[in-house]
Amino acid sequence: MAASSSSHQTHIPLPSDSGGNKPLDHEAQLSLVPIHVVTDASQLPAEFLNPTPDKQLIIGFDCEGVDLCRHGTLCIMQIAFPDAIFLVDATQGGEMLLKACKPALESSYITKVIHDCKRDSEALYFQFGIKLHNVFDTQIAYSLIEEQEGRTKLPDDYISFVGLLADPRYCGISYLEKEEVRLLLRQDSNFWTYRPLSELMIRAAADDVRFLLYIYHKMIKKLNQRSLWYLAVRSALYCRCFCTNDNNYADWPSIPPIPGNLVGDGNAPEEEILSVLGVPPGKMGRVIGRRGASILSIKESCNAEIFIGGSKGPPDKVFIIGPVKQVRKAEAILRGKMLEIY
């Protein structure tokens, strides 16, 4: 699938047929693949640029940038195939290059495997008009597998990508270089803007996607049909989460309906939704509470996920994802907090 010569290479783990929980280095075959730095769409595979139902793809996906959100700068988009990694250089290739990727990123024929898609989706939407679609979010999948296996998820207990890689059920490796990059980012937030890309930048960008297809295959074996539906719905809602607009997401792809085989088993899952609640000026402090105590208590009382824009924004909205009844419950409690007088 490689589209051009490359002097950079890395190893991609290939899924094993054993189906066990052994760490990656005990069971996976490592395939040496090229890393391509892409500045023009012609360097990308044709089957990616022109998705079709008879050539469906599964890719690892991530984005890097400066303060990645609607107002930040998307610098690199990483795409992992089983036989190559492509670093799409948005800084050099500009809007034309990203627009060429739009059909693939919005296609239902290409599954995008990504860890926590919310801010990446927001950046793509507001900076390039791309509505990220058909996402397999490994952060959501991890939580669903934990629930399947009888473990209770606590509020704000989200697995980090480093934590996921360290879990022996999925990879069982340490990602020490990630800490090195985080330190550099704290020292210089413009790290991903510099060109030409350094060896460290290329290696770090590739490392963020080269394990994703392996993790996908490990997870897909564990997820039951009910969890797969929840994953599809929640991944779609995560993609929308911070992408607020004036038409209530009418131009986004529809949310997957509850499959018939889950409706007929007498224990049908409840529809899940995203609610965006506006917070009046000066009221966000009441919603959050001292040291986050108020918002934490709301999360503990509702079976719904609640996100606040924080420093990246939007600063005046609360985002709630979950079953309809739980979302309405959270809305009511939040509105009550806004009315409290101290």
Could you give the CA distance from residue 66 to residue 191 in angstroms, rounded to a whole number? Answer: 8
Within a domain: 257:
no
In a shared domain, residues 174 and 297: no
In a shared domain, residues 60 and 199: yes
Could you give the CA distance from residue 252 to residue 275 in angstroms, rounded to a whole number? Answer: 15
Could you give the CA distance from residue 290 to residue 297 in angstroms, rounded to a whole number? Answer: 12
Could you give the CA distance from residue 173 to residue 184 in angstroms, rounded to a whole number? Answer: 22
Task: Spell out the residues 6+ positions from residue 188 whose beta carbon is closer than 8 angstroms to its own.
Answer: none
Within a domain: 72:
yes
Within a domain: 54:
yes
In a shared domain, residues 128 and 171: yes
Q: Residue 111: helix, strand or coil by DSSP? A: strand
Residue that has been written with the tokens 């473990």 in this structure: 151
Positive or negative torsion for Cα 188, 194, 200, 202: positive
In a shared domain, residues 111 and 213: yes
Q: Is 266 left (phi over 0), alpha (psi -120 to 50) or beta?
A: left
- What is the per-residue pLDDT for 248? 87
CATH number of residue 327's parent domain: 3.30.1370.10
In a shared domain, residues 328 and 221: no
Which parts of the chain sit beneath pLDDT 50?
1-2
Within a domain: 91:
yes
Within a domain: 212:
yes
In a shared domain, residues 30 and 167: yes
Could you give the CA distance from residue 141 to residue 14 in angstroms, rounded to a whole number? Answer: 20
In a shared domain, residues 27 and 164: yes
In a shared domain, residues 18 and 81: yes
Number of domains in the chain: 2
Q: Is 258 exposed, middle or buried (0-12, 13-18, 19+ CB in 10 A)?
A: middle
Within a domain: 1:
no
Walk across the sheet containing 305-308 and list its strands. 272-278, 317-323, 305-308
Alpha helices in 63-175, H assignment, sequence order? 90-105, 118-128, 138-148, 161-166
Domain membership of residue 80 as a residue range = 11-240
Within a domain: 5:
no
Task: Spell out the residues 6+ positions from residue 138 whose beta carbon is closer than 8 angstroms to its own.
Answer: 113, 114, 115, 161, 164, 212, 215, 216, 219
In a shared domain, residues 181 and 317: no
In a shared domain, residues 71 and 169: yes
In a shared domain, residues 41 and 181: yes
Phi (first) and psi of residue 190, to 5 degrees: -90, 15
**Under a CB-based contact definition with an 8 Å cutoff, are residues 49 and 42 in contact?**
no
Within a domain: 264:
no
CATH number of residue 73's parent domain: 3.30.420.10
In a shared domain, residues 313 and 164: no
- What is the per-residue pLDDT for 2? 44
Q: Closest Cα to residue 119, out of 160, 75, 62?
A: 62
